[in-house]
Structure 1
Amino acid sequence: MIGQHLRSYSKRELSERRRVKTWQDQGFDVCQHLVPGNHLLHFIADTGWEGIIDLERWFCHRVPQSAALSSASWSPAQLETLFITCIQPINGLPQDLAYQRLESKGRVAASSVPAQAYACMASQGRVWLHTFPPHAPLEEGRRYLKADSLPLSIQFQIGYSHISMALLKRIQRGDVILVNHEECTVASSNHVLGRFIKIEEGFMFDETDVTAMSENESELSLPEHINEVAVAPVRSRDEIKIKLDVVLQQSTLSVAELESFYHGQVIPCHPDAEQNISIMANGVPVAKGELVWIEDSLGIEIKDIYQEAGDVSRQ
C-alpha cells in the first residue's frame, strides 16, 4: 500500500501542525523534542486546553530571588499550590491559549511528555501542550494565494439536444442537428455561471435573470451525460470551480519515446518526487508540497504557495 511509504498523519496531528505553524508565523517559539525537567505539573485551562510545565523552571522565572535558595527550602507540593493560586501564572502565550484560570491535574513524570509533544515558550518557561484548544486557530499572518490571474475556460452554450448513440454514429456531412433545448448559458468547469445575452459587440452577462435561475435550476442545467454539468447554478464568484491537478513529475517526451512508453519502457522517476509535488490550478502552478498519508487517504502537505499564480521563481 502506498501509505506505507509516505509520512503519515492523523487528522488530529494535521490540525495541530496547522495551528503550530500559525503560532510560528506569529513569532512564537514552538518546537518539539525538548526534554522537560523532573518537577512537572499537568494542568487544564478553563478554555479547554491542557499543558505540562516544569515547576522548578517556572519558579526560577517567576521568583528569581527565591529560586536561588536550595531546593530543600521548598517542596513540589508547595510549588504546585503557588502555581495554581497565582493570578495568570503563565504569560506570553499565543492568543489561542488565552485563559482566566488554571486547575491542577496532578504532578506527572517526565515519561508523560512524548518526544513529539509541542513545547511553547512563555514568559515563565516552556509549556508542553498535552491537549490543544478546542476552538479553531486564528488565521492572522497567514499568506494566501492571489488567484485572480488563474485562467478560466468559459463556454457560451446556446443549448443542447438528446441523441442516441446509434443516431450519432449515422451523422454525415451535410446533416442538420436540431437544438431541442435552447439555453444561452455561461459555463465553466462543468458548472453553470448564469445566462448571457448576445449583442452586437459580443456577449453580455444577463444579471437580470439570476432570480429566474434560482427558481428553475433544473431547467437551466445541462443534462448529466453532457459533461456532467452541476444541477445548481453558480451565483457567486467564490463558487466557481477550479480544477486542481496533483503532479508527481513533469517529463518531456518525444512522440517516439511516448510510443515506447506504451510498450513497457520505464520512465525514470526523480528520487525525491514525493517531496516535490506540484499543484496546478487550471493548468497553472500555484503551490508545491509533499505527498502524505492522512489516516486512510492521500493528501498533499503544502510546503510553499506562489502568491501570484504561476510564479515559481522561489523554487
Structure 2
Amino acid sequence: MNALGLRQLTSTEQAWQQAQKGWQAQGIEVSFGLPDVDACHVFSVDGGRWQGLLSLHEWLSCVSPALAEILGSTGDDGQLQALFMATPRPLEFAATELAYDSLQLGQKSQIPASAMLCLKTPQGRVWLTDIPAVMKGQDKLDPAWLLTLPVQLIFEIGCSKLSQRAKARLGVGDVLLISEETHWVKSCDVRIGRYWQNEDGIMIEREDEAHLATPTEIPDLLAELPLRLEFILQQSTVSLSELGDLYLGQLLPLLPDAEKQIEVKTNGVLIARGELVLVDGRLGVELLEIQQEVLHVE
C-alpha cells in the first residue's frame, strides 16, 4: 500500500484536522498557523480541560481600542493581566465545545515550532495548544437510512448436544433429535428475539415485548448489532483468460487516485467513500462522503 503514496498522519494530527473540519462545518472561521507576535500568554479553562495562547495586546485592542492606544504596544504586562482577569468573560467562542465556566491566565510562553489551530474571536485571535472533543460536521448517517441497511436473519428451531464419538457414527437416514426448541431469531451472531410460525409465514417478537416509539427510532438491541465493514480499493471486470494472465504476472491497471476513492460497504451496501491514509502507521480510511440515500430493500 505504500506504493500508493498514502498521506501519513499521527492520531494527534488527525484529531486537529477533524476539529478544523468540524468547526468549519459550523461556519466558524478557523485555520492552521503560528502567532505573528514575539510571545503569547498561556491560558487554560476549567482546570485544564483545554488550553491555548493569546496576545494580551491584541486582546485589549479588540475590547478597548482607546485604552490600548493610551497604554501603547509596550504597556505594562502586569496591568494587562489584571485587566484580562478582571473581565467577567474575557473570551467568547462560537464553538460550543470551547464553552467554559472559569479561565486561568498563565505566564508568557515561547511560540511553538509547529502550526496550531487559530480561531478568530470578537476579542482577538486564539491559538489552541490542546482541544476538547469536537463535534463532527453535519454530514452524518441518518437514522432513517440506517434502518434500511440489509441484515441477514437466522431462524433457529432448536439445539442439541452431540459427542464427537456419536458424530463419527452418523449416517444417511439417521434422525437427530432436537433436545430444546428455541425459536430464536439471530443476526450477526446476536439473539434479537423469538419467532412463531403458522401457515401464513413467520412472525417475530422481541423478548422484552417493547415497541418502537417512532418509525425512525432504532431499538438499543438492534443498534448494537455489529456490521462487518468492507473497504474496497477498486472493482474490475476481467475475462477468465485475463484472470489467468494476472496469475502469471500480468499487471492490472490501477484507477487514477484509487486511494482517494475508497468505498466503504456493509453487507454489500455502500455507506461511505473516503481516502486511504496511514494513522500512526496503521491503515485507515478518512471519510469524505456519507451515503444518505434511503434504500428500499425487498
Structure 1 residues 291 and 125, CA gap change in structure 2 (3 angstroms): same
2:89 counterpart SS class: coil
Name the residue aligned to 2:131: 132
1:69-80 alignment to 2 at 5 Å? 69=70, 71=72, 74-80=75-81
1:192 counterpart SS class: strand
Q: What CA distance in whole angstroms lies between the structure 2 residues aligned with 1:76 and 1:41?
A: 10
Structure 1 residues 239 and 128, CA gap change in structure 2 (3 angstroms): same
1:242 aligned onto 2:227: yes
Q: What CA distance in whole angstroms lies between the structure 1 residues aligned with 2:188 and 2:95?
A: 41
Alpha-carbon offset, residue 179 of structure 1: 5.4
Query: Can you list the C-alpha shifts for 1:174-214, whole angstroms capped at 9, x where unaligned?
Result: x556354554332323333232111111001144x569xxx
| Match for residue 244 of structure 2 among 227, 237, 259 | 259
Alpha-carbon offset, residue 56 of structure 1: 2.3
Query: Can you list the C-alpha shifts for 1:101-128, whole angstroms capped at 9, x where unaligned?
Result: 322221123x32621x111111112110
Amino acid at match of 1:61: C
2:54 counterpart SS class: strand
Name the residue aligned to 1:14: 14
Name the residue aligned to 1:308: 293
Q: 193-202 or 261-270: which moved more?
A: 261-270
Structure 1 residues 190 and 260, CA gap change in structure 2 (3 angstroms): farther
Structure 1 residues 3 and 256, CA gap change in structure 2 (3 angstroms): closer
1:295 aligned onto 2:280: yes
Q: What CA distance in whole angstroms lies between the structure 1 residues aligned with 2:4 and 2:28?
A: 33
1:1-315 alignment to 2 at 5 Å? 2=2, 5-48=5-48, 49-69=50-70, 71=72, 74-109=75-110, 111-112=111-112, 114-115=114-115, 117-133=116-132, 136-138=133-135, 141=138, 143-145=140-142, 146-159=145-158, 175=173, 178=176, 180=178, 182-207=181-206, 236-308=221-293
Q: What CA distance in whole angstroms lies between the structure 1 residues aligned with 2:25 and 2:249?
A: 47
**Structure 1 regions of 5+ residues with no counterpart?**
212-233
TM-score relative to the length of structure 1: 0.75
1:61 counterpart SS class: helix
Q: What CA distance in whole angstroms lies between the structure 2 residues aligned with 1:113 and 1:191?
A: 51
Amino acid at match of 1:40: C
Q: What CA distance in whole angstroms lies between the structure 2 residues aligned with 1:210 and 1:177?
A: 35
Is the contact between residue 187 and residue 193 of structure 1 (CA under 8 Å) also seen in structure 2? yes
Q: What CA distance in whole angstroms lies between the structure 2 residues aligned with 1:137 and 1:13?
A: 14
**Structure 2 regions of 5+ residues with no counterpart?**
210-218
Q: What CA distance in whole angstroms lies between the structure 2 residues aligned with 1:40 and 1:30?
A: 18
1:42 counterpart SS class: strand
Name the residue aligned to 1:228: none
Amino acid at match of 2:239: S
Amino acid at match of 2:75: W
Is the contact between residue 193 and residue 235 of structure 1 (CA under 8 Å) also seen in structure 2? no
Q: 295-304 or 151-160: which moved more?
A: 151-160
- Let me know the Cα RMSD of the aligned residues: 3.5
Amino acid at match of 1:125: G
Amino acid at match of 2:33: H
Is the contact between residue 286 and residue 308 of structure 1 (CA under 8 Å) also seen in structure 2? no
Alpha-carbon offset, residue 37 of structure 1: 2.1
TM-score relative to the length of structure 2: 0.79
2:57 counterpart SS class: helix
Query: Can you list the C-alpha shifts for 1:94-153, whole angstroms capped at 9, x where unaligned?
Result: 2222223322221123x32621x11111111211001213xx444684532421221122
Alpha-carbon offset, residue 279 of structure 1: 0.3
Q: What CA distance in whole angstroms lies between the structure 2 residues aligned with 1:165 and 1:256?
A: 47
Structure 1 residues 254 and 89, CA gap change in structure 2 (3 angstroms): same
Alpha-carbon offset, residue 171 of structure 1: 6.8
Structure 1 residues 186 and 60, CA gap change in structure 2 (3 angstroms): same
Q: 268-277 or 244-253: which moved more?
A: 268-277
Q: What CA distance in whole angstroms lies between the structure 2 residues aligned with 1:203 and 1:43?
A: 63
Is the contact between residue 183 and residue 196 of structure 2 (CA under 8 Å) also seen in structure 1? yes
State the number of aligned residues.
Answer: 282
